[in-house]
């Protein structure tokens, strides 16, 4: 069995920045175990698979795998999938609707940007989170802890966020996926994302985290439209909007890196 593979840097206009995703278009689903093995072999934050959808009002069904697990939502790999469809696979409709484990996800091409309509996951303040989290994350002080899917930790400044040095072994033992965030110096907000329990110590740019960050900062800053940066080593830029209580928009650019082929006996 031969399968095509595209590697794309998402949420960036510069090669070797943003978040690399492996994109594997399929004609029909292959075994879950094989998809997980391919994701492990690729060893990127996410490998995304999609197939033509049989559902009314939907173009493709989509799934995402880290090297360790399947996840229920991934922004950068969805962005990369839309980019591959438009630039490599001759897709020509004004928008693409993906069906996923997190519902319908619509992507529109707007010039060089790809704008994704995603669920709004507003995190709520909590007091019950793992002991010693400030020390585990390597930050001075936690201003607040919040949760939706992930544990969102707010710190005081962008500088503190940049200088954070997590203990990934200790963080993995907690089982938490952590969004670290602060008000930005030159943009509205900044973040980093750590998920060693999912096989990713630090993710370069995380769309699903922004499903939680956008409603958090929209309320905090009293703004609907915002600009954000994820301050990983590779870095990424996002345009963001709180569209309603149920939906957010996040978008950015993509850069093509390579095309390859799997040759698998199955």
Q: Both tokens of residue 248?
A: 């957010």
Which tokens sit at 211?
A: 């499903």
pTM of structure: 0.91
Using CA atoms, how far apart are residues 66 and 174, in angstroms rounded to an integer? 19
Q: Which residues pair with 178 in a beta bridge?
A: 151, 194
For 184-241, the pLDDT digits (tens) are 999 999 999 999 999 999 999 999 999 999 999 999 999 999 999 999 999 999 999 9
The three-state secondary structure class of 41 is helix
**Topology match between the domains 2-118+252-263 and 124-242:** yes
Output DSSP code: residue 131: T
pLDDT per residue as tens digits for the range 58-109: 999 999 999 999 999 999 999 999 999 999 999 999 999 999 999 999 999 9
CATH superfamily of 2-118+252-263: Diaminopimelate Epimerase; Chain A, domain 1 (3.10.310.10)
Positions marked catalytic: 46
Beta bridge partners of residue 116, listed in sequence order: 107, 250
Residues 115-168 have pLDDT tens digits of 999 999 999 999 999 999 999 999 999 999 999 999 999 999 999 999 999 999
What are the structural domain ranges in the chain? 2-118+252-263, 124-242
- The confidence score (pLDDT) of residue 264 equals 85
How is domain 124-242 classified at the architecture level of CATH? Roll (3.10)
């Amino acid at each position: 069995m031969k399968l095509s593979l595209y590697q794309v840097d998402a949420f960036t206009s510069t090669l070797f920045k943003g978040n690399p995703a492996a994109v594997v278009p399929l004609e029909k689903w292959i075994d879950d175990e094989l998809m997980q093995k391919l994701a492990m072999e690729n060893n990127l934050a996410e490998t995304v698979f999609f197939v033509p959808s049989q559902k009314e009002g939907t173009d493709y069904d989509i799934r995402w795998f880290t090297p360790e697990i399947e996840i229920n939502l991934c922004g950068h790999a969805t962005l990369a999938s839309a980019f591959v469809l438009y630039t490599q696979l001759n897709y020509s409709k004004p928008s693409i609707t993906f069906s996923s484990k997190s519902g319908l996800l619509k992507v529109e091409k707007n010039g060089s940007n790809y704008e994704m309509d995603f669920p709004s996951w507003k995190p709520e303040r909590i007091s019950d989170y793992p002991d010693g989290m400030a020390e585990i994350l390597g930050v001075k002080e936690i201003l607040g802890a919040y949760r939706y899917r992930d544990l969102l930790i707010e710190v005081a400044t962008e500088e503190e966020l940049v200088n954070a040095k997590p203990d990934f072994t200790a963080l993995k033992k907690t089982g938490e996926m952590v969004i670290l965030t602060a008000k930005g110096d030159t943009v509205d907000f900044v973040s980093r994302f750590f998920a060693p329990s999912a096989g990713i110590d630090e993710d370069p740019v995380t769309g699903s985290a922004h499903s939680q960050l956008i409603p958090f900062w929209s309320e905090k800053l009293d703004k609907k439209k915002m600009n954000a940066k994820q301050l990983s080593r590779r870095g990424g830029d996002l345009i963001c909007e709180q569209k309603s209580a149920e939906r957010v928009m996040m978008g950015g650019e993509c850069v093509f890196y390579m095309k390859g082929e799997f040759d698998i006996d199955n």
